[in-house]
Amino acid sequence: MIKSGTEPSEPTQSTALQGALITVENIVKRFGAVQALGGITLDFPAGQVTALMGENGAGKSTLLKILTGDHQPTDGRIVLDGEPVAFATPQDARRAGIRIIPQEPEIIPHVSVAENVYAGSLPRKAGRRLDRAELRRRITSDLTRLGFDKVISPETLGSELTAAQRQLVEILRALTGEAKVIAFDEPTSSLSEHEVEALFALIGRLRAQGIAVIYVSHRMKEIFQLADRVAVLRDGTVAGVLDAARTTEEEVVRLMVGRDLSSLFVRQDVARDEVVLDLKDVTTDDVSGISLQVRAGEVVALAGLIGAGRSELARAIAGDLPIRSGGISMNGRKVQLRGPRDAIRAGIGLAPEERKAQALFLQRSIRDNTSLVGLTGLRRLRFVRRRQERSMAQEYTDRLRVRTPSIEHEIGKLSGGNQQKVVLARWLAGKPRLLILDEPTRGIDIGAKAEIYQIIADLARDGVALLVISSELPEVLGLADRIAVMQNGRITGVLGRAEATEETILALAMADDLTTTAPGALR
């Protein structure tokens, strides 16, 4: 619980507030026979941060797309500055001062940060040549003004940006020109602690300037740190609007899912003596001297700050990054990993952090995405046995409760939580002995998180060894049997379930003297 000593305020359907900058009135949106929004009335006051909460599929993204002109409402209207408005295109909404910073940045790879930020409004000289001096002056001024001058260079090419830097470029792009309403959609999912602090300071300045801020996040701590109001959507309707200073995390969760989630984590002691993964002094370009064991039915978490080397270690184990020295054994047999195919043959699966970019074919069906790992077993000569493929995809789609009209549905149209379930279904169909989950609940609502946690518990009970990477310490503490903490490419300590706390994990994650920390070998 984030706040204590306060009683939850009564949730009420929002009505237009004095000073409301933008209001949606009785917004309905249908896609064919499917109703995504069922009469939404909400206001977003000037100079306030309104947190927009709800499970994946509750209607948050659809509402934002209507505000920004990507979708047209089936019924209802938008009122901006007291006047009804209609946005036929996103350009109309932008000209009216409405901006959205999407969760998945759209970056032009072959041009610089400066050109990405001002794409469509680049300064020109006579003869229409790019005015590079003016461009540099603008981007330098904006980076300094917004507090991002230490974390991103204006000359860096889009293709060379990290996930966090791509997110910052989207933020910079949204703040060019005169903005009245700014919506942030999961803006911190890829940011470091320092970058998050700069973003929160920026949002504070936007609030002070009288801009209406809409903030979408599944991270409760952020919501209570930033928001003035919390608007909760459920099943395409407004479940309630709460005063952030007078409510609690439990009340917000109850409105989101329609029930109390008294226990998110399923804790069970099912670890066996059988060692599945055994790393001995594994060294790559990014990690050094890693020794680690994971047993059947055991959940081992990799904790640490961004840049500690956790994802790089996971990719090395999965055959995606070369190992310079040391060895990997699976079930007592040393394996040589020349690439991901060798890892899959050895029984190793990896669900990466960037599921859309690294794990999914977004334009393909759920069936296609689910059957990728198991295709070899579905072949007869050179042909895939389609009936068995459909049967397998349906089995795991049902088992993991993927919400979809059918297994032929395009996976890019699913919510983030359901996309993650399909990634897990793929590996379950391949029957791995070790499954590595890198940020398995990133960008997923709290109801879907509970389902992912149950899947992890079920896999452990079935004897799968699990290596889980998470930047959320409550998740690490709730899931793991043991926690290996990394810093600067090394393991600085190992904590059992009984001794692990947020404080002990952070102390090891920020340890300065690696020679005095707990030994790297985990037995």
Query: pLDDT tens string for the chain (523 positions)?
Result: 333 333 333 333 333 334 458 999 999 998 887 788 999 999 999 999 999 998 767 889 899 999 999 999 999 999 999 999 999 998 899 889 998 888 777 888 889 998 988 887 788 887 678 888 888 898 888 888 777 787 788 899 988 887 778 878 888 888 877 889 999 988 887 677 777 887 888 889 889 989 999 999 888 888 999 999 999 998 899 999 999 999 988 888 888 877 655 566 777 788 888 999 999 999 999 999 999 999 999 999 999 887 889 999 999 999 999 999 999 999 999 999 999 989 989 999 998 887 777 778 788 888 888 877 655 555 554 555 677 778 878 887 888 788 888 888 888 888 777 888 888 888 887 789 999 999 888 777 777 788 888 889 999 999 999 999 998 888 899 899 999 999 999 999 999 988 998 889 988 987 654 443 443 333 3
Could you give the dihedral angle defined by the CA atoms of residues 304, 310, 311 and 313, in that order, rounded to the nearest 10 degrees? Answer: 180
| Structural domain spans, the chain | 20-106+163-257, 108-160, 270-347+432-523, 362-431
Which tokens hold the place of 238? 């407004």
Distance CA 217, CA 101 (A): 12
Using DSSP, state whether 393 is helix, strand or coil.
helix
Query: Which superfamily does 20-106+163-257 belong to?
Result: P-loop containing nucleotide triphosphate hydrolases (3.40.50.300)
Q: Concatenated DSSP letters for 272-298?
A: -S-EEEEEEEEE-SS--SEEEEEETT-
Q: In 3D, which of 287, 285, 281, 288 has the Cα closest to residue 329?
A: 281
Give the pLDDT of residue 428.
Answer: 82
Give the pLDDT of residue 199.
Answer: 81
DSSP 401: T
Give the pLDDT of residue 280.
Answer: 96
Distance CA 367, CA 406 (A): 9
For the chain, the first-to-last Cα distance in angstroms comes to 35
Question: 120 CB contacts (<8 Å, ≥6 apart)?
Answer: none
pLDDT, tens only, 371-384: 776 555 555 545 55
Same fold across 20-106+163-257 and 270-347+432-523: yes
Using DSSP, state whether 114 is helix, strand or coil.
helix
Distance CA 89, CA 85 (A): 12
Pair 296, 464: CB distance under 8 Å: yes
Give the pLDDT of residue 494.
Answer: 93
- Residues 473, 479, 485: CA angle, nearest 5 degrees: 50
Q: In 3D, which of 443, 395, 387 has the Cα closest to residue 415?
A: 443
Could you give the count of Cα atoms lying within 13 Å of 259 in the half-sphere of its Cβ? 6
Give me the helix-helix angle, 193-208 and 163-174, nearest 10°. 10
Which tokens hold the place of 157? 């090419």
Q: In 3D, which of 25, 20, 49 has the Cα closest to residue 37?
A: 25
Give me the helices (H) in 318-445, please. Answer: 340-345, 355-358, 366-370, 386-399, 416-430
Amino acid code (one letter) for 148: F
Q: What would be the CATH architecture of the domain defined by 270-347+432-523?
A: 3-Layer(aba) Sandwich (3.40)
Distance CA 29, CA 36 (A): 6
Q: In 3D, which of 449, 522, 38 has the Cα closest to residue 282?
A: 522
Which tokens hold the place of 382? 């050179």
Which tokens hold the place of 81? 């500055």
Pair 222, 53: CB distance under 8 Å: no
Pair 112, 154: CB distance under 8 Å: yes
Pair 11, 239: CB distance under 8 Å: yes
Question: 396 CB contacts (<8 Å, ≥6 apart)?
Answer: 370, 425, 426, 428, 429
Burial (0-12, 13-18, 19+ Cβ within 10 Å), 260: exposed
Distance CA 395, CA 411 (A): 17
